[in-house]
């Protein structure tokens, strides 16, 4: 008798549990369905977005190749549509500047590089365009504008700091401030991350200025002062 009673109680308990489960499913089951739909929908959207981005990148790359092979690559590259990425407009101007430099047209190259710097959303791309503008325009660039650009580009943490400092040293040499240029070259060479190519150029600059690489610096103002001073100011 006791066994039958226990079985009956177990059956009733199981039925109550089942009823509670069905009730919970009716009340909250939609939440699980929403979660499943969201997961599946999110995965589908990511795949669609990835496929779309690949198609846009391929389309833009094809347009670049076609522009480079056109009769007027400078104009064609500058007119490229961004195709979903604002920085592609700046990249088009960078490519147009390269084509202009290949044609020995530094003025046009400088104009496109300035446009690229103004359009770029990515800070590294913007700094690259500004540095290339300084290199392309050289001494034809307004001295104050050139010095302001190099001062900004050579701030600590800037992506092209060492290259900008190198250009400041070049500007100091052009301004007949050889000792300041030497001090700045030594400062650059003491920095971390100096590439072999940059080190070779700086060594060549030192030799051209009459200094021996590795020789101690003369008793002159600190190199940091030379880096902070206007690079194109005339020697006193």
- Mapped onto helix, strand or coil, the DSSP state of residue 218 is coil
Q: Decide which of 143 and 9 is more confident.
A: 143
Residue 111 confidence (pLDDT) above 50: yes
Do the domain assignments include residue 192? yes
| 215 within 8 A of 186, measured Cβ to Cβ | no
Do the domain assignments include residue 125? no
59 pLDDT band, cuts 50/70/90, is confident
217 pLDDT band, cuts 50/70/90, is low
Do the domain assignments include residue 116? no
The 3 state secondary structure assigned to 66-84 is: HHHCCCCHHHHHHCCCCCC
Residue 77 confidence (pLDDT) above 60: yes
195 pLDDT band, cuts 50/70/90, is very high
Do the domain assignments include residue 234? yes
Do the domain assignments include residue 182? yes
Do the domain assignments include residue 103? no
Residue 201 confidence (pLDDT) above 70: yes
Whole-number pLDDT of residue 15: 67
Angle formed by the axes of helices 123-137 and 87-102, to 10°?
20
Residue 231 confidence (pLDDT) above 80: no
Range of the domain at 230: 143-236
Residues whose CB falls within 8 Å of the CB of residue 148, separated by 6 or more in sequence, listed in order: none
Number of structural domains (the chain) is: 1
Do the domain assignments include residue 117? no
Do the domain assignments include residue 196? yes
15-44: average pLDDT:
74
In terms of pTM, does the model score above 0.85?
Answer: no
Residue 210 confidence (pLDDT) above 60: yes
Residue 191 confidence (pLDDT) above 60: yes
Residue 225 confidence (pLDDT) above 70: no
């Amino acid at each position: 008798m006791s066994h039958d009673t226990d079985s009956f109680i177990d059956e009733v308990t199981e039925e109550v549990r089942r009823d509670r489960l069905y009730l919970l499913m009716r009340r909250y089951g939609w939440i699980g369905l929403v979660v499943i739909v969201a997961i599946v929908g999110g995965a589908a959207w990511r795949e669609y977005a990835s496929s779309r981005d690949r198609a846009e990148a391929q389309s833009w790359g094809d347009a670049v190749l076609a522009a480079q092979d056109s009769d007027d690559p400078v104009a064609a590259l500058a007119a490229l549509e961004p195709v979903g990425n604002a920085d592609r407009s700046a990249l088009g101007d960078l490519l147009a500047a390269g084509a202009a430099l290949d044609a020995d047209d530094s003025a046009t190259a400088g104009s496109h590089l300035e446009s690229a710097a103004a359009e770029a959303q990515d800070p590294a791309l913007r700094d690259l365009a500004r540095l290339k503008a300084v290199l392309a325009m050289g001494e034809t660039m307004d001295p104050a504008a050139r010095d302001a650009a190099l001062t900004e580009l050579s701030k600590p943490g800037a992506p092209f700091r060492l290259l900008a400092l190198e250009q400041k040293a070049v500007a100091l040499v052009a301004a007949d401030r050889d000792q300041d240029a030497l001090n700045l070259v030594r400062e650059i060479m003491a920095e971390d991350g100096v590439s072999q190519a940059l080190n070779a150029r700086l060594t060549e600059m030192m030799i051209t200025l009459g200094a021996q690489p590795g020789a101690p610096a003369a008793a002159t103002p600190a190199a940091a002062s030379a880096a902070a001073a206007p690079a194109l100011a005339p020697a006193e």
